[in-house]
């Protein structure tokens, strides 16, 4: 199996687009360098913040090719290859491995309700076709299917290439259960927080870091949460964790990844809008966003 160190802050990097909603791969490369300069520990292609849900298969491959070429092995590259069907997930996972992705992040199938047996079987079938680490991805609010801690533990125990899990449920008890039920395995299974407000708590509980959408806006701040924690500077890590609360408060006005992309655009980067129809933010929300960005700029956040 290809080895990758799953840890730290891994931004689900946004996908820059032109005014006609086509990919802007030149700006993607600039955003990759901005993230790396901020000290992030990995990069995740076409996650939720990367609008993987609305990109075509060929667009995903174009994004991944550009990312792998730009990163040049400096940090692990994660590829989101989960689809609704098992066969589609296998095809995209195999292709991402061939292209050089270091880790596959595989979201649960969506829309149709799936039993835990069906989810288990889905992941086993995909895992049989690849030889690269897999991180399970639980985000039931978006998919409608919850990957239970017991299922995660069973998959972690039974399948060699399943090396981690990302929990974006926002349910602290669920995240803790992922950690608790996998911490005594003979392999080093890593649990990542998909909720940016739970990064430091999860690290304290034995987690390995987070796939942090807010790092698109504040890469240095998010990366510092992990770095300060590992250095034993817990009070400073807490300050960094708390500093993103005002930005996250803007999420009450709309889709978080829409707000993240508008924030990066407001910072002066030509990343475009999210692909239609998911690109609206009301005037009150935009006003609050700009106010928060200015306040955080004055505080030196980047």
What is the spatial distance between Cα 294 and Cα 277, in angstroms, rounded to a whole number? 27
Q: Which two tokens stand for residue 277?
A: 């129809």
- Determine whether 137 is an active site residue: yes
What is the spatial distance between Cα 302 and Cα 299, in angstroms, rounded to a whole number? 9
Q: Which residue is catalytic, options 166, 226, 261, 262?
A: 166
What is the spatial distance between Cα 189 and Cα 261, in angstroms, rounded to a whole number? 31
Which of 129, 131, 108 minimizes the C-alpha distance to 120?
Answer: 108
Say whether 130 sits in a helix, a strand or coil. Answer: coil
Tokens 């596959």 appear where? Answer: 104
Q: Which two tokens stand for residue 291?
A: 């106010």
DSSP characters for 221-264? HHHHHHHHHHTT-HHHHHHHHHHTHHHHGGGGGS-HHHHHHHHH
What is the spatial distance between Cα 241 and Cα 134, in angstroms, rounded to a whole number? 27
Chain centroid, CA 249 distance in Å:
19
- Host H or E run for residue 157: helix 149-158
Which of 241, 240, 227, 275 minimizes the C-alpha distance to 255?
Answer: 275
- Determine whether 291 is an active site residue: no
Q: Which residue is catalytic, options 137, 178, 218, 226?
A: 137
Please list the active-site residues.
137, 166
């Amino acid at each position: 199996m290809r080895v990758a160190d799953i840890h730290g802050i891994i931004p689900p990097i946004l996908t820059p687009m032109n005014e006609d909603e086509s990919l802007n791969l030149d700006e993607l490369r600039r955003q990759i360098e901005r993230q790396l300069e901020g000290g992030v520990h990995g990069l995740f292609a076409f996650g939720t913040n990367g609008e993987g849900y609305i990109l075509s298969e060929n667009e995903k491959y174009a994004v991944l090719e550009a990312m792998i070429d730009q990163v040049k092995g400096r940090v692990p590259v994660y590829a989101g290859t989960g689809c609704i069907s098992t066969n589609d997930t296998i095809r995209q996972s195999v292709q991402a491995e061939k292209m050089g992705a270091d880790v596959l992040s595989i979201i649960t199938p969506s829309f149709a309700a799936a039993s835990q047996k069906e989810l288990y079987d889905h992941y086993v079938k995909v895992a049989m076709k690849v030889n690269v680490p897999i991180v399970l991805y639980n985000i039931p609010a978006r998919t409608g299917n919850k990957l239970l801690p017991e299922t995660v533990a069973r998959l972690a125990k039974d399948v060699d290439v399943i090396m981690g899990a990302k929990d974006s449920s926002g349910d602290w008890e669920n995240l803790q259960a992922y950690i608790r039920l996998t911490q005594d395995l003979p392999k080093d299974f890593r649990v990542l927080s998909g909720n940016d407000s739970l990064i430091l708590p999860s690290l304290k509980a034995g987690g390995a870091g987070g796939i942090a959408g807010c790092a698109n806006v504040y890469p240095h701040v998010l990366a510092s949460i992990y770095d300060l924690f590992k250095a034993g500077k817990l009070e400073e890590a807490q300050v960094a964790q708390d500093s993103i609360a005002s930005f996250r408060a803007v999420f009450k006005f709309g889709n978080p990844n829409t707000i993240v992309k508008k924030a990066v655009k407001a910072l002066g980067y030509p990343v475009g809008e999210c692909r239609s129809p998911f690109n609206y933010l009301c005037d009150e929300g935009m006003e609050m966003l700009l106010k928060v960005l200015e306040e955080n700029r004055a505080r030196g956040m980047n």
